[in-house]
Structure 1
Amino acid sequence: MDYREIRREKKIRNRKVKRSITIVFFVIIFLLWGIYYLLQSDLLNLKELEVYGNHMITKEEILRTPELSIERNIFQYKPSHIKHQIELHPYVEEAHIKRKLPATIIITVKEREKYAIIPYMGSFIYIDHNKVVLEVSDDYLAEDLVLITGVAFNSFKIGDKLDISNEELLDRAMEYIEASKIVSIADIISEINIDQEGYIKLITFDGIEFLLSNREDPAYTILALKEVLTNLYATNKKNVIVDMRYKGQISIRSREQWEEDR
């Protein structure tokens, strides 16, 4: 092949490369223009908000965040900001945010559940299983929740974990609640008092009082307590105090006898 032929082929290749570069350039420009058009058009403006996982709180409460104003472009919303604002609600433990093109944002929440009630200066504090304060009410309406009395408060704030000085005793009381749920007797427990020195007092809706150790295994103790309850109900004994503070020893006395012995 002579020099002129080589030069001619080189020119052809250069023209093809330039043509390809030009085509790619125009494709990129077209794509960028298309993206810009979509971002500026109403097509991608937020039209719908879907909320899943909420039971205790309403969709309106979740969407009250200022980040979720309608008619903004869907890509102008920052999921991390929305997540943070929604999780400020005391009943929201976790939130997940997802865009769904062209115009929908999907919010999935995991709610905190009421676990117990603590009285405080005429009001009632509702907490979850992590001792986070969910709400404060003047009324005690949730009879399916156990009342925990004797809590020594330092401070509390809705949405934050309780700040108390006898936290270890509160933890033990909640372990007793959890164990009672496992053996299906939680619905008969009215109150657990942790203000006693050296033991915990559990009271049923029937008025039966159980004096429990604050050191023994709650699961074992609750199993024994359930057996004692079964025997008491079988013999129709209710106005009694059951002392289970000492491992392997169970003492059952009437309330009058207990007061006399003290």
Structure 2
Amino acid sequence: MQKGKVLSLEDRIPKIKEHRKRRANRRLIFLLTLFFLLIVCVVYIQSPLSQINKIEVYGNNLVSKNEITKVSSLKKGDNIWKVNKGQASKKIMELPEVKKAGVRLEFPNNIVIDIKEYSPIALIVSDKEFLPVLENGTILKNSTMLADAPLLINFKKGPFLDELAAQLKDIPSEILNAVSEIHYEPKETDKYHIYIFMNDGFEISATITTLSTKMIHYPSIVSQLDPKVKGVINLEVGSFFKAYDLEEEVKSEEEEER
């Protein structure tokens, strides 16, 4: 039986030294890499690359870029890693025209603000001006005209206008585009009462709080009526039609001729 070969201490020392040398080299490489990364971080923090270079705003039509950036408190040259994106978004959403706002970092040092605004939904008649009304009830100060937008008569800023705007938002566009004017005419029994004048000549008596659910049925109601006989469609509680009194119309025309 052949015995295994036993290494002497002199034979083992070179291998131990080589192993320790490799471990020392790996440790040195690790320390040098860490030191290099620290230097890179320090240089980056001190360089313009760590500062906001540009602020881009997308999705805004009603609010200017300058106003949005001013409200956000973000400024060119600020440290990009100190930007509180959530807080900036919250500040921007305090603008009455802004529905949603998102702030994100675009590599390497640009800030992008994504905006979603409330949609203009009607025009309010105020001091002989036509001012756009947003779907949240906000009245814009500029007099930009809207195509096929209903005119709001006798309305003022407040809960009734806010509720009306919320209701108009839920009415299908093909029906809303057929609305010519909406007059606020409160009653003792209904503070939300309105009269709606349609482009097809019909008049609607309704209440603001149930307007969207009632107006959905307008096309089917009109389809059952004689288009030559105009009148008032009452949608306050149920739904019924009352034709205009033709005799009274003829009489009033004769009085005007006299």
Aligned residues, how many?
Answer: 238
1:204 alignment partner AA: M
Counterpart residue number, 2:4: none
CA distance 1:184–1:248, change in 2 (3 Å): closer
Is 1:201 matched with 2:195?
Answer: yes
Q: Which residue of 162, 186, 204 corresponds with 2:177?
A: 186
Which of these residues, 219, 225, 237, is aligned with residue 223 of structure 1?
Answer: 219
CA 1:178–1:146 in 2, change beyond 3 Å: closer, same or farther? farther
Name the aligned partner's letter for residue 135 of structure 1: I
Question: Retained in 2: the 8 A contact 1:96–1:108?
Answer: yes
**TM-superposed deviation, 1:30:** 0.6
CA 16–52 in structure 1, closer or farther in 2 if over 3 Å, else same = same
Greater Cα radius of gyration, structure 1 or 2: 2
Alpha carbons of structure 1 residues 22 and 6: separation in structure 2 relative to 1, 3 Å: same
Aligned to 2:256: none
Does residue 251 (structure 1) correspond to residue 245 (structure 2)? The answer is no
TM-aligned CA deviation for residue 147 of structure 1: 4.9
Instruction: Report deviation, 1:178.
Output: 3.5
Tell whether the 8 Å contact from 2:197 to 2:203 is kept in structure 1 after alignment: yes
CA distance in structure 2 between the partners assigned to 1:176 and 1:72 by the alignment: 43
Q: CA RMSD in A?
A: 4.1
For the residue of structure 1 that corresponds to 2:181, the secondary structure is strand
User: Is 1:101 matched up with 2:93?
Assistant: no
| Corresponding residue of 2:254 | none
Match of 1:159 in 2: none
Aligned-partner Cα distance in 2 for 1:176–1:105: 35
Pairwise CA distance, 1:150: 8.0
Out of 139, 148, 160, the position equivalent to 1:135 is 139
AA aligned to 2:138 is L
Out of 79, 82, 87, the residue aligned to residue 93 of structure 2 is 87
In 2, Cα distance between equivalents of 1:112 and 1:138 = 15
Matching residue's letter, 2:198: T
Q: CA 1:100 to 1:194, structure 2 compared with 1: closer, same or farther past 3 Å?
A: same
Amino acid at match of 1:102: P
Contact 1:243 1:250 in 2 (8 A): yes
- Mapped partners of 1:220, 1:93: distance in 2: 25
Query: Structure 1, residues 24-55: CA drift from partner, whole Å, max 9, x if none?
Result: 11111111111110110123432222221112
Return closer, same or farther for 1:69/1:246 CA change in 2, 3 Å cut-off: closer
- Residues 245 and 30 of structure 1: CA distance in aligned 2, closer, same or farther (over 3 Å): closer
Residues of 2 paired with 1:255 and 1:3: CA distance?
126
Q: 1:242 aligns with which of 233, 248, 251?
A: 233
My pick for the range that moved more, 218-227 or 30-39, is 218-227
1:38 aligns with 2:44: yes
Cα distance, 1:140 vs structure 2? 9.8
1:256 & 1:64 partners in 2: Cα distance?
63
Q: In structure 1, what residue type is equivalent to 2:233? A: V
Q: Which ranges in structure 2 are unaligned for 5 or more consecutive residues?
A: 1-6, 250-258
- Is 1:48 matched with 2:43? no
| SS at 1:191 equivalent | strand
Q: TM-score, normalised by structure 1?
A: 0.68
Question: Counterpart of 2:3?
Answer: none
Deviates more, 1:70-79 or 1:198-207: 198-207
Letter in 1 for 2:68: I
Does the Cα contact within 8 Å between 1:49 and 1:107 map onto a contact in 2? yes
Query: Contact (CA 8 Å) 2:133, 2:140: kept in 1 or not?
Result: no
Instruction: State yes or no: 1:210 paired with 2:204.
Output: yes
Q: Which residue number in structure 2 is paired with residue 75 of structure 1?
A: 81
Give the structure 1 partner of residue 30 of structure 2.
24
